[in-house]
Structure 1
Amino acid sequence: MMDLYIKELVIHQFTPDDTDLLLADKPLDISPLLDTYFSKKLAKVFSDEAKRGRLTEDNPFFKLLTDDFLESSVKIAQSWRQAFLISENQKTCDLVFIRFEKEGTEHFAFLRLTLKESLTHLTGQSDSPIALTQNTLPGAGQTPDEALVLNQKTGRYYLIEKRIKHDGSFVHYFSEQLLQVQPEASVKKSLKVVEQTAKKVADDFRQDDFAFQSKMKTAIYNHLEEQELEPEKLANQLFEDNLTARLTFVDNLKEQIPEPIKLADIDYSKQSKKLSSQKLSLSNGIELIVPNQIYQDADSVEFIQNQDGTYSILIKNIEDIQNK
């Protein structure tokens, strides 16, 4: 688990019945159970799904943070309520505020957790042992419904937000109304844009086949290992023999993602696992999953284009075959 030290914890509650806040009057005692639960919740925010950016010192939200943690949490909860009231789908939720250290640096977190009803088996109740309980917290392994984690030294933040429905349209109220920022796209979305842009350029230059798709996945995977993805470097690998295609790819990508995609401080294991192997679906119904290091090894697998336009795949040096 990520090395986090939770120092203070406050939970307020929002109820849709009267759209009011139930405000705590003091921080909670942090038991080992709460420490484990909320440490797991915080770790979920440092993920490839989080949008990122930086709050400047004159940002209205940043100004709500003071040395009085409880007072800050109340002001932010009230500001959140004002922004959230436009939502057409309101549910009871806990507003969790956490002051914690990560690698020796002070961080502030605001998590919104939607509470739910669940069936509980009550011991000692022989007639009605199963009862419906209210306000149950989601599992520790679930990503918060919405979350902001802020490095108070640098102003850098990680954001998970949901669109809410208002007047027939959907809005990102958290970033637009509460934070008043335009965050960077998440790593997950950015990588999708990279793949789509590369495919379109390859299409335009008649290079889009299974070999290019495989090369693209391998190139992106290798950049993940370097913890940064730069358009120019990627272009050189994908379109090494075509200067016009390289320039087109870089220009098109930078229109959507101006800065290099940075991977430090987040868990990108899902993306890494997705890109670590080639999944090939053949026209005869055969499906192959080939790890990248084997796919690129001519002594292990070879793709042959026949004179009639069909392909043959030669898999070599197999020591053992198992039926799974």
Structure 2
Amino acid sequence: MDIYIKEAIIHQFSSQSLDLQFSKEPLELSPRIDEYLRKKIEKVYSEDAKKGAFDSKNTFFSHIQDDLMESSRTISTLWLEAFKEAENQKMNDLIFVGFEKEGQSHFAFLRLVLRDSLTDLGQEENRIQLTQNHLPGFGASPDEGLVVNRVTGQYFLLEKRIKAQGSFLHYFSEKLLEVELAPSPKKSIQTMEKAAQKIAESFQADDFQFQSKLKSSLHKNLEEKQELRPEDIANDLFQDNLTARLTFIDQMKEEVPETIQFQEIDSQRQLKRLENQKLSLSNGIQLIVPNPVYEDAESVEFIMNEDGTYSILIKNVDTIESL
């Protein structure tokens, strides 16, 4: 992902005073700090992110200006008003980043909860000490993250619910951004899978072959198109049953009204999950079969025996190795 960081600012939220400590100067961008921030931003472009687009009248969007320091102070203050009612608060760094991606100006707001860590003080001290206020590691996702394309208004959001006054709420989207969010791609796929299985059950068609067909359809469409349309999945799964096909499409319009898109989002985790068929047999045998092999009748054949049991014939194997 081609990200060029231009400027970054860190403010800190104190869990003791419930107040903000504002930085006076931008962060010095060493190569390692630049890498750290880029990795955190890249984590926001994930299958767990909720997507949307600000309209020109959105109040939060209007606070994202060319002056990153002024924008960061304004947004931090608004964030505090939304967040301060949360229970079990900890120290947080609020990191604001101005960057360019594919030639367009972007803005990022990252919330990182500071961690306690054990530090080896060396042979001379001969002890380990608990130290506080450590940033999460390079590979960790931000605790919350917002990335906004300043040209188009499109945004990606990783958010967490907070507990306040005995109830849980998505304070970031509801109170700070004041938007209604569509489910994340990961959540949408889970909803699509559950709906397909439920409809198949109602037509007495939910067996291992249907589950395999569902996984293959999702993998094929995601790999070829980088998106999942209910109509395409319905045609693959229920091509011989018009009622089931229309039922699935109608249900998806209610639960996942938009096409599940992976543009700018890394789809590799979902493709990896869907690329193999995993079968667990009643005799304890477990099989992992790649989709192309599973769908090739010259490689694998499932045989229904007269007594209702199955036989699985694996054909044309050149070599066998013990793992």
- TM-score range for the pair, normalised by the shorter chain length: over 0.9
Identify the residue that residue 133 of structure 1 maps to in structure 2.
131
Q: Secondary structure at the match of 2:301?
A: strand
Q: Secondary structure at the match of 2:59?
A: coil
When normalised by structure 1's length, the TM-score is 0.98
Identify the residue that residue 179 of structure 1 maps to in structure 2.
177
Q: Secondary structure at the match of 1:288?
A: strand
User: Structure 1 residue 130: deviation in Å?
Assistant: 2.3
Distance, in Å, in 2 between the alignment partners of 1:236 and 1:269 is: 24
Identity rate, percent: 56
Is the 8 Å Cα contact of residues 300 and 315 (structure 1) preserved in structure 2? yes
User: Structure 1 residue 131: deviation in Å?
Assistant: 2.0
**Quick check: 1:4 aligned with 2:3?**
yes
Code of the residue aligned with 1:64 in structure 2: it is H
Identify the residue that residue 46 of structure 2 maps to in structure 1.
47
**Quick check: 1:195 aligned with 2:193?**
yes
User: Structure 1 residue 129: deviation in Å?
Assistant: 4.2
Which whole-Å deviations, capped at 9, do the CAs of 1:136-157 have from their partners, x for residues lacking one?
0101111110000001111110
Distance, in Å, in 1 between the alignment partners of 2:204 and 2:129 is: 63
User: Structure 1 residue 298: deviation in Å?
Assistant: 0.6
Distance, in Å, in 1 between the alignment partners of 2:206 and 2:20 is: 55
Distance, in Å, in 2 between the alignment partners of 1:127 and 1:252 is: 65
User: Structure 1 residue 170: deviation in Å?
Assistant: 0.7
Distance, in Å, in 1 between the alignment partners of 2:159 and 2:219 is: 27
What is the 5 A alignment of 1:272-311? 272-311=271-310
Code of the residue aligned with 2:125 in structure 1: it is D
Identify the residue that residue 75 of structure 2 maps to in structure 1.
76
Is the 8 Å Cα contact of residues 122 and 131 (structure 1) preserved in structure 2? yes
What is the 5 A alignment of 1:169-248? 169-225=167-223, 226-248=225-247
**Quick check: 1:323 aligned with 2:322?**
yes
Q: Secondary structure at the match of 1:185?
A: coil
Q: Secondary structure at the match of 1:18?
A: coil
Matched residues, number: 322
User: Structure 1 residue 128: deviation in Å?
Assistant: 4.6
2:147 to 146, 149, 157: 149
Distance, in Å, in 2 between the alignment partners of 1:244 and 1:42 is: 44
Distance, in Å, in 2 between the alignment partners of 1:302 and 1:102 is: 48
Q: Secondary structure at the match of 2:187?
A: helix
Structure 1 residue runs of 4 or more that deviate by more than 6 Å after TM superposition: none
| CA RMSD in angstroms, aligned pairs only | 1.0
Identify the residue that residue 107 of structure 1 maps to in structure 2.
106
Q: Secondary structure at the match of 2:98?
A: strand
Q: Secondary structure at the match of 2:130?
A: strand
Identify the residue that residue 122 of structure 1 maps to in structure 2.
121
Q: Secondary structure at the match of 1:284?
A: coil
User: Is there any run of 5+ residues in structure 1 with no aligned partner, and where?
Assistant: none
Distance, in Å, in 2 between the alignment partners of 1:100 and 1:128 is: 44
User: Is there any run of 5+ residues in structure 2 with no aligned partner, and where?
Assistant: none
User: Structure 1 residue 202: deviation in Å?
Assistant: 0.5
User: Structure 1 residue 122: deviation in Å?
Assistant: 2.7
What is the 5 A alignment of 1:23-102? 23-102=22-101
User: Structure 1 residue 66: deviation in Å?
Assistant: 1.5
Distance, in Å, in 2 between the alignment partners of 1:86 and 1:146 is: 17
Q: Secondary structure at the match of 1:61?
A: helix
Q: Secondary structure at the match of 1:258?
A: coil
Identify the residue that residue 260 of structure 2 maps to in structure 1.
261
Distance, in Å, in 2 between the alignment partners of 1:157 and 1:89 is: 28
Is the 8 Å Cα contact of residues 89 and 164 (structure 1) preserved in structure 2? no
Q: Secondary structure at the match of 1:308?
A: coil
When normalised by structure 2's length, the TM-score is 0.98
Distance, in Å, in 1 between the alignment partners of 2:94 and 2:210 is: 47
Identify the residue that residue 163 of structure 2 maps to in structure 1.
165
User: Structure 1 residue 46: deviation in Å?
Assistant: 0.6
Identify the residue that residue 21 of structure 2 maps to in structure 1.
22
User: Structure 1 residue 65: deviation in Å?
Assistant: 1.2
Q: Secondary structure at the match of 2:308?
A: coil
Distance, in Å, in 1 between the alignment partners of 2:129 and 2:120 is: 7
Distance, in Å, in 1 between the alignment partners of 2:236 and 2:191 is: 17
Q: Secondary structure at the match of 1:88?
A: coil
Which whole-Å deviations, capped at 9, do the CAs of 1:196-238 have from their partners, x for residues lacking one?
0000110111110000000000000011111111111111110
